[in-house]
Structure 1
Amino acid sequence: MNTVTLVIDKSGTTIIRDGKSLVVKLPDGNSSRIPFSRIESMVVYSKANVETTVWGELATRHIPCVILPSRGKGNECWVGPGLNVKMDVRILQFRAYHSYTESLTAQKFILGKKLDATLALIDCLEYPAKIKGLSEDAAKARQEIETATHKLINNEQKISTMGIEGGADKSLYAFYVKLLPPKWGFHKRIRRPPTDPFNSLLSLCSTLVYSETLNQILLRGLDPCIGIIHATRKNRYSLALDIMEPLRPAITMYAYMLLTEKFILRDFTISSETCLLRKNARSEFYFQWHAITQEWGKLPGCNPAKDISLKQCISEIIDDLIAFWEGGFENE
């Protein structure tokens, strides 16, 4: 059975549970019934009225849901399953967190995956770079990522690891500054609030990947607040940000593809404070988003590229990390 990403973005919409189905009631009186079994994930923009039993059913069925602020201001919220499984892996995680050596090697393990994915991405960007006369820039970006990879392998301090990762990110985004047409107004990565279409799409895609990542972490019984790379901080799921790192090159490529193939400048509302997709462009975005999540492994920047979904890509990273921890402690 085909599943869907359910997007609720009409103010005044009411969502209730009726048995094994979710019922969406629009302000104009029309309604739709969708079996929970057909929902892959759900995105709700604020000002919708959601019955509390809906959240419980979504969590029980492990269906990730992200609640987004309607005008781009404020924090996102997530709903997912609780920490109700596999206490043993959580103990393994805590042991690794409190061991300097284990936490450093875990940082290098995750960031090594990210740098490998970034190199794969640059390989795929060499052709559009050549067309635009940017072959030297592509070669420079590749050299900088290869240098970062060498530094990472030989690094023995956690604080240096973060610096290496940050420098690699700057190299990639500097390449996108030259690769993207000037009309998109991209000069650097700006997260909150995004100020141009590329940053806007990066932030939206990242939020949705973050939601699925958090869900997969909870399903495996890990504590999403205890990070490896990102410091543990109040009101942040640091481990979810960590697991996302190898996925970020593919996220940047997908946002680039959307700008060059699907969207035009007037699909965005740009003000002095923020840049957001217009409401009539959201439907196209979520249509494309649902399609790409089913074959995420084919995106440039996924290394190695596989015919697998976003959920499966995230699961592989988490499973690899758990196996890495298990191997480390077995060798003590």
Structure 2
Amino acid sequence: MQLIIDTANTTITVRNKCFYIKNAAVQKQISPLRLSSIAITTNCLLNTSAIKLAAHHQVPVLVFNNFGTIQARMTSPYFANLAMLRKKQLLFSISPQATTWIIKLLKKKSRQQVKTLKWLGRKKSSRRQEIEVAIDKMKSLEAKMEEIGSRPIANSKAVLMGIEGSISKIYFMALRVTVPPLFDFDKRSRRPALDFFNSGLNYLYGMTYSLVESGIFAKGLDPMIGIMHADQFKEPTLAFDLIEPIRPVMDRIWLGIIFQDILKKTDFIKKEQGYWLSKSGKRIVIKTFNEYTQQRVNYGGRVLRFKDHIYQEANSLGNYLLGNVELL
């Protein structure tokens, strides 16, 4: 399980070879053997003994900002010699095969977006015709990706990003007509979110990055060597690539929360010209996210825990670079 620290001034120390969590509301011990990670979303005190215990049991400590994005990560230093894998990753990033890989990722994303819209069509039958029109337009645009072929990514990236952007614009406008008035939005907005809908979606995407990055580190890939997002300096651009087909699944999770009608205005806060989830809103989103990622689901024709599906994206790329499998 993931230990979430969301109460300010919590202290994390060690007692009886366990993490000892203490704040104004709770005092408890948790064995490191029960934890997959520690997520910190507020100010707290983590002492050296707790850091060493986490490292020994390979429990990553993740520090999130208000957007739900990882701001810092502490992990175990024990890993194999990765020089050969990362050399191959760098060569791959400028090869025609990288274009083929990106096209496959974006097609996965588009098909997951279509799956989300079909799910919405079943839930919102009054909007089914509009949704079907959007799906047809998206499929026509997706077909244009095949025309690019296997040109070097430098010569095809702008075209691919243009197609992906057009598909996503149609997709989000189709989502917009299904949400209740409290969650109406004009367009995708990131930092800051300009409405409640985007604030929750941004937070879910931020949490997903933590799992994508964990998969990258677990395989030994370099998170800074991306393909489509390679021009973003000092950013984990490979994670930006690998998260693309996962985003529509997070959209379904967020829409599912919205349709449960459990969120209120008090679950959001406005500051710095934008909107963020409040503490109560984060608790709802984090709980739903953690429950879903532990479920066994069919994704891409395979039934695994969804968390393992996320790891599999990085694992497949690493295995291809090592010559173990074909490019999926």
Distance across 2 between alignment mates of 1:295 and 1:113: 20
Shift of the 295–77 alpha-carbon distance from structure 1 to 2, 3 Å rule, reads same
* Deviation of 1:170 (Å): 1.2
1:170 aligns with 2:169: yes
Equivalent position amino acid for 1:249 in 2: P
* Deviation of 1:308 (Å): 2.3
Contact 2:221 2:318 in 1 (8 A): no
The Cα offsets for residues 235-265 of structure 1, whole Å up to 9 and x where unpaired, read as 3111111111110110111111111115233
Q: Which residue of 2 aligns with 1:277?
A: 277
Q: Which residue of 2 aligns with 1:134?
A: 127
Distance across 2 between alignment mates of 1:224 and 1:230: 11
The 5 A counterparts of 1:156-195 are: 156=151, 157-195=156-194
Q: Which residue of 2 aligns with 1:38?
A: 34
Distance across 2 between alignment mates of 1:269 and 1:281: 6
Distance across 1 between alignment mates of 2:305 and 2:234: 28
Distance across 2 between alignment mates of 1:172 and 1:214: 26
Equivalent position amino acid for 1:297 in 2: V
TM-score of the two chains, using structure 2 as the length reference:
0.87
Q: Which residue of 1 aligns with 2:9?
A: 12
SS at 2:169's partner residue? helix
The Cα offsets for residues 129-171 of structure 1, whole Å up to 9 and x where unpaired, read as 32xx222221122112212221111114222111111111112
Distance across 2 between alignment mates of 1:97 and 1:31: 49
Which one of 41, 46, 51 corresponds to residue 50 of structure 1?
A: 46
**Superposed CA RMSD:** 2.7
Gaps of 5+ in 1: none
Equivalent position amino acid for 2:257 in 1: L
**Identity over aligned residues, as a percent?**
23
1:210 aligns with 2:206: no
Distance across 1 between alignment mates of 2:91 and 2:58: 27
* Deviation of 1:222 (Å): 0.3
1:150 aligns with 2:143: yes
Q: Which residue of 1 aligns with 2:59?
A: 63
1:91 aligns with 2:87: yes
SS at 1:297's partner residue? strand
* Deviation of 1:13 (Å): 0.8
* Deviation of 1:11 (Å): 1.2
SS at 1:84's partner residue? coil
Distance across 2 between alignment mates of 1:141 and 1:183: 23
Contact 1:195 1:270 in 2 (8 A): no
The 5 A counterparts of 1:188-267 are: 188-261=187-260, 263-267=262-266
TM-score of the two chains, using structure 1 as the length reference:
0.86
Contact 2:14 2:50 in 1 (8 A): yes
Equivalent position amino acid for 2:219 in 1: R
Distance across 2 between alignment mates of 1:240 and 1:61: 24
Q: Which residue of 2 aligns with 1:294?
A: 294
Gaps of 5+ in 2: none
Distance across 2 between alignment mates of 1:94 and 1:60: 31
Shift of the 121–86 alpha-carbon distance from structure 1 to 2, 3 Å rule, reads farther
* Deviation of 1:49 (Å): 0.9
Contact 2:211 2:311 in 1 (8 A): no
Contact 1:83 1:221 in 2 (8 A): no
* Deviation of 1:14 (Å): 0.7
Equivalent position amino acid for 1:119 in 2: V
Contact 1:121 1:253 in 2 (8 A): yes
